[in-house]
Amino acid sequence: MTQAECAALEEAVEADSFPDTFAAPQGTAGEKSSAHFAIPAASLVLAACGGGGTDDNPISSVLAPTVQVAKPATDGEAARFILKTSLAATEPEIADIRSVGYVAWLDKQMDIPISQTGVDWLSSRGYDQVTVDEFYFRDSLADNMVWNQLITSPDPVRKRLAYALSQFFVVSTNGIEIDWRSNAMAAYWDVLNRNALGNFRQLLEDVTLNPAMGVYLSTLDNKKEDSRTGRVPDENYAREVMQLFTLGLNELNNDGTKKTGSTGQPIETYTNAD
């Protein structure tokens, strides 16, 4: 473009009046006002003229739109969000999330490393030692460990996620008839924390190979089928993996309703063969 044409276009932008050259084609489907077409067209032409990047150029706002950062408008909104994603809403956290916004606050929380594992917490108190106190028989030590982790750990978002995972991948000291059950539970809790912000496939593998889960859902000493004695295979954990941990019993539509077959029956996600 010539200097005169560039100057004329800049004047049109400032006056919010665009030449017919940049108007929308008339009579076309989905016809819009000429301004809707003129703004992006003018921005491209001004860029070709060397404009669009300076503060005194009115088209700069078109070329560089402002990115809005979502932030809580009030302390109440901030506290509500924190309590849904974390474990406690403190005044410093409320001030922080109001300052940096939701996404930046969550990013910082997810970057916080694990400060102390459950196994290390028990070890630091001597609960992994063979003494007259017989810690290897005690169930309550696991409860003490988890409560301490939830209340005092500096990574509450991770802990909230680990606690949520424990409601799906359930293990209980009541069902682990072994010595050192609290220590086994601590190692299981550490698996959930380690994988809370990671890959689900890895989480499923680590849960499956964990000794506490092995005892709780009978993968330890799992017996295969024996046609001579009529023993059927122990399918307990295989069913738990499919039914509770991953697929569920029935195929679902995107809205959560069950998919149905030609006769209206629910479509199962797995069979005995699986």
In a domain, 221, yes or no: no
- The number of folded domains in the chain is 3
Considering the domain architecture, whether residues 189 and 147 belong to the same structural domain is answered as: yes
pTM equals: 0.71
Higher pLDDT, 45 or 123: 123
Considering the domain architecture, whether residues 54 and 117 belong to the same structural domain is answered as: no
pLDDT score recorded for residue 219: 82
Considering the domain architecture, whether residues 269 and 207 belong to the same structural domain is answered as: no
Choose one of 186, 216, 246: the last residue of a domain: 216
In a domain, 79, yes or no: no
Considering the domain architecture, whether residues 117 and 169 belong to the same structural domain is answered as: yes
Considering the domain architecture, whether residues 203 and 260 belong to the same structural domain is answered as: no
Considering the domain architecture, whether residues 119 and 209 belong to the same structural domain is answered as: yes
- Average confidence score pLDDT of the chain: 83
| Residue 218 pLDDT grade (very low, low, confident, very high; cuts 50, 70, 90) | confident
Considering the domain architecture, whether residues 59 and 10 belong to the same structural domain is answered as: yes
Choose one of 22, 42, 63: the last residue of a domain: 63
Mean pLDDT of the 164-181 span: 90
Distance CA 109, CA 129 (A): 34
In a domain, 39, yes or no: yes
For residue range 130-141, list pLDDT tens digits in order.
Answer: 999 999 889 899
Considering the domain architecture, whether residues 204 and 249 belong to the same structural domain is answered as: no
Torsion of CA 65, 16, 30, 24, to 10 degrees: -110
Higher pLDDT, 16 or 142: 142
Distance CA 236, CA 257 (A): 27
Considering the domain architecture, whether residues 138 and 57 belong to the same structural domain is answered as: no
- Angle of helix 156-166 versus helix 140-152 axis, rounded to 10: 140
Residue 271: count other Cβ atoms within 10 Å of its Cβ.
6
pLDDT score recorded for residue 273: 85
Domain hosting residue 54, numbered range: 3-63
User: What tokens were used for 182?
Assistant: 């609290």
| Residue 13 pLDDT grade (very low, low, confident, very high; cuts 50, 70, 90) | very low
Considering the domain architecture, whether residues 248 and 173 belong to the same structural domain is answered as: no
For every residue of 222-256, DSSP letters joined together read ----BTTTTBPP--HHHHHIIIIISS-SB-B-TTS
Token pair 């410093």 is at which residue? 92
Distance CA 250, CA 264 (A): 13
In a domain, 191, yes or no: yes
